[in-house]
Amino acid sequence: MNSTKRHMIDSQSIHKQAKKLRTIFDKSITCIENLPNEIFYEIFTYLEGCKLYEAFTNLNTRFQHLLTSSYVLLNIQISSCPETILERRCTHIIKPNKHQIVSISLLNYCGNDEMFTLFAIDSSFTQLESLVLKNIDENKIIKILSNLISLFRLFFLTIYLNDNCQDLCKLIKFTRMPIASNKQYSSIEYMNIGHRCTINQIISLLSYTPRLSHLTCEELFELQHRIPIQIPITLSNLTHISIGFCKIRFAHFEIFLQKFCAQIKFLRIMTSNYFAYLDIDRWERLIQDYMPHLCQFYFQYYQIIDHWFLFAPYRWLMNRSTSLFWTSRRCIFECHLDIDSRSHGQIIYSLRFSKNKMSTSNRCIINQTDLYDSAIITNGKYVAKSSQLTVSCLDFTQCNIILVEKIRAFLLTVHFNHLNINCKWVPISTLIKLIWYLPNLHSLHVSNLTILAIKSLSIDDLENFRLASKENKIIEVHLAQMIEFKQAQFLIDLCPGMQHFTVECLNGVNIEMVVQFLLIDNCTKFSNLCILCLYGSICNFETIENFKIMINREQQLHDYTVTSKISPVFNRMLYSNGFRESKTSEIILPGKQYLHIIELLKCIYPNILKSIDNSNAMYLLPLSDEYSIVILKKNIERYFISTINSISYKYGDNLTRLFDLLSLSQLYRLNKLEENICEQLTNHFDIEQWNKIDLSIDLRCHLLELYAKKQQMKLKEKQNKLNQLEDLCLKQKFEIQRLKSQLEVNQQQ
């Protein structure tokens, strides 16, 4: 059971701590004894509380004062240990320092009953923010939860029940939770219920959490109780709901959505066995009338396929999904087939909005699109990939006749326009039949084609291949993991009307030979081809020039352009039908300088590929980030990394530049650059130089934290050496005692 409370921040203590961190130290730090207290406070946060006390107690007066300071917050973690050690830690560490403990974790500890007899988790733990309990007996749960009410700073709670406790609802069935009044509420905003519960229990919890924005429930199940339709608290912040598996009737779930989800923006639900959920007209009315702000909708219906399975409800649903309501939202309807034996398998029907934004009037505003949600442009018309069939496992040669006929009848009557073959291995005969059974296909995505299967087509397969290639309307083909040209040749022959061909070449495949094969050798078969997109190794100037020489020499293509799709932002803007830039001859980029854009194009255009240097790096970085040009962004990061090694740490100006680069690395998520700079700064730790530079508190704290980690590692190394010396001394002591004993024996003799 997971529960979350709002993390209450003590602003006064943070202010005091920040003030301490800004203290200027006049002397240079040359040894660990001269480190400020703040460094040790930071180091202590990485140590388990009990081990921290056992290591530093009575070490000297300074560390004794440090341990009792209000800045030292303890993280207690107890696993399996002897009972005597447990009692000693509870008596001498946990009980006297309750006010300093911020987290308690009882992990893999089988004696939790004994633990709670030694101390109780109650209001005396004034700083406790996180609590993790494992292997809790069911007779202890209610008492523990009752005590936690008084912990006002607790914002993270995780309880793992014993294996013999199957249902948390059984534990609390006698603990009635009434609908809360207006004066009873919690500040919880995110709630994740990792067990099964009823819809009435959900409603009761919602009445106590008016600030809740995100609700996640693993499983909803049915109980024969009337659903309360009135609760006194308005859930104006509830925008996200995710139900892992919904086992209640649609009528009950519909009431829940109508009464409590007026502000919902995100809804995810998976269900099974209740055909009422497949009523697409009912969903349309529900969204229009009661969820006007819904912008992300994910619905899945799971069903086992056997001899008695009926495809009819899915067929009706798919064919009803072409109304204006769903097409205006660019909805994706997907059917996922997985037939893993002769007579059994599973089908998952999915309905989801594409990645769009919705206005309050329920009108779609296109934001972005991915590979499978993108549009197909054919003869100036827009054809959305609104209905998809994904096949992860299917072999007609292994299925029985009854199941094959059911699948065939289903495919022939549903208007799928996109087929995704997502199998590690698909029989060629099955692929041919699928395309033959789906006459409305516009696009095809194939993850892998078995080369051996292509060579061994039977006479019947060849006839089916001829019919399928003649009748299909496929204009977009995507082949992933191309190893040999025969794979591409098979798809070229199967889809002679293709206009857009995408090929992903595995490492080792020569891109120039691929172009030779596709555009020269198969030029006559590509009469309708408009776009050829190749994924492979990085394309450089030499490769581009070789493409042009090859094409011009053969004189097969007279009007062509070689481009590099290096920016997905430009790609969507210029080639997607939903953007006005795709139809205009002039594109305005507000706030951008002409020379900067020209420089950007020079750095990404294959024929030029201008290098990054000190004159362009600073203004190209924000442009590469805004337009998602990953390659250029990495080149800029590599350039900055190459420059930081030459910066001197003795002069303030150069050090200021280093901190400026660190700020840039955090702003634009240049992780490697940030790691390099932090490594350099912590290796040359000089608090006097740092204090001369105007650093933000967050950045200063971040660097001190990294430096503290390094010092912690050094402390561990010294501790290990100290332990080795102690072991050696102990061995020498035993050896001395042995020699003394031997000497006494010899003297007595």
* pLDDT tens sequence across 499-540: 888 888 776 677 778 887 887 777 777 778 888 887 765 555
Q: Is the pLDDT of residue 241 over 90?
A: yes
- As a whole number of angstroms, the distance between CA 210 and CA 203 comes to 11
- Taking the CA atoms of 255, 259, 260 and 263 in sequence, report the sign of the dihedral they define: positive
Nearest one of 139, 101, 93, 156 to 123, comparing CA atoms: 101
Least confident of 204-213, 463-472, 548-557: 548-557
Tell me, what amino acid is at 92?
A: H
Helix (H) / strand (E) element for 718: namely helix 697-748
At 297 the three-state DSSP class reads strand
Cβ partners under 8 Å of residue 446, min gap 6? 421, 426, 431, 477, 478, 479, 480, 491
Domain assignment present for residue 320? The answer is no
What would the pLDDT profile of 75-117 be if each residue is shown by its tens digit?
Answer: 988 877 777 888 888 888 888 898 899 898 887 555 555 666 7
Domain assignment present for residue 397? The answer is no
pTM score of the predicted model = 0.56
What distance lies between CA 246 and its chain's CA centroid? 23
- As a whole number of angstroms, the distance between CA 279 and CA 249 comes to 13
Cβ partners under 8 Å of residue 227, min gap 6? 199, 200, 203, 252, 255, 256
What would the pLDDT profile of 137-161 be if each residue is shown by its tens digit?
Answer: 666 776 777 777 778 788 777 777 6
Q: Is the pLDDT of residue 459 over 70?
A: yes
Q: So what's the pLDDT on residue 291?
A: 92
CATH of the domain at 62: 3.80.10
Q: So what's the pLDDT on residue 243?
A: 92
Domain assignment present for residue 566? The answer is no
- As a whole number of angstroms, the distance between CA 674 and CA 655 comes to 15
The first and second tokens of residue 450, run together, are: 């078995």
What is the tally of structural domains in the chain?
2
Residue 685: count of CB within 10 angstroms of its CB: 19
How high does pLDDT run on average in the chain?
A: 74
| Cβ(119)–Cβ(89) below 8 Å | no
- As a whole number of angstroms, the distance between CA 167 and CA 161 comes to 9
Cβ partners under 8 Å of residue 107, min gap 6? 77, 78, 79, 132, 134
Residue 494: count of CB within 10 angstroms of its CB: 20
Domain-terminating residue out of 684, 705, 726:
705
> CA dist 555 to 299, 380, 532, 558, 618, Å?
52, 28, 18, 7, 44
Domain assignment present for residue 117? The answer is yes
Domain-terminating residue out of 671, 690, 705:
705
Q: Is the pLDDT of residue 480 over 60?
A: yes
DSSP letter (8 states) at residue 525? G
Residue for token pair 């009819």: 312
Residue 258: count of CB within 10 angstroms of its CB: 14
The mean pLDDT value for 534-553 works out to 69
Domain assignment present for residue 271? The answer is no
> CA dist 612 to 503, 567, 617, 654, Å?
31, 18, 6, 20
Nearest one of 485, 472, 474 to 512, comparing CA atoms: 485
Domain assignment present for residue 633? The answer is yes
At 102 the three-state DSSP class reads strand
Domain assignment present for residue 603? The answer is yes
Domain assignment present for residue 400? The answer is no
The mean pLDDT value for 201-225 works out to 81
- As a whole number of angstroms, the distance between CA 280 and CA 234 comes to 29
For 355, phi then psi, to 5°, come to: -75, 75
Nearest one of 461, 441, 442 to 453, comparing CA atoms: 461
Q: So what's the pLDDT on residue 718?
A: 81
What would the pLDDT profile of 280-336 be if each residue is shown by its tens digit?
Answer: 888 999 999 999 999 889 999 888 877 666 666 666 666 566 678 887 877 888 888
For 501, phi then psi, to 5°, come to: -125, 120
Tell me, what amino acid is at 342?
A: R
Q: So what's the pLDDT on residue 688?
A: 67
- As a whole number of angstroms, the distance between CA 448 and CA 251 comes to 43
- Between CA 697 and CA 703, with CA 698 as vertex, the angle to 5 degrees is 100
Domain-terminating residue out of 145, 171, 197:
171
Range of the domain at 43: 1-25+32-171
- As a whole number of angstroms, the distance between CA 133 and CA 107 comes to 7
Nearest one of 518, 546, 694, 558 to 606, comparing CA atoms: 546
- As a whole number of angstroms, the distance between CA 538 and CA 232 comes to 61
| Cβ(237)–Cβ(270) below 8 Å | no
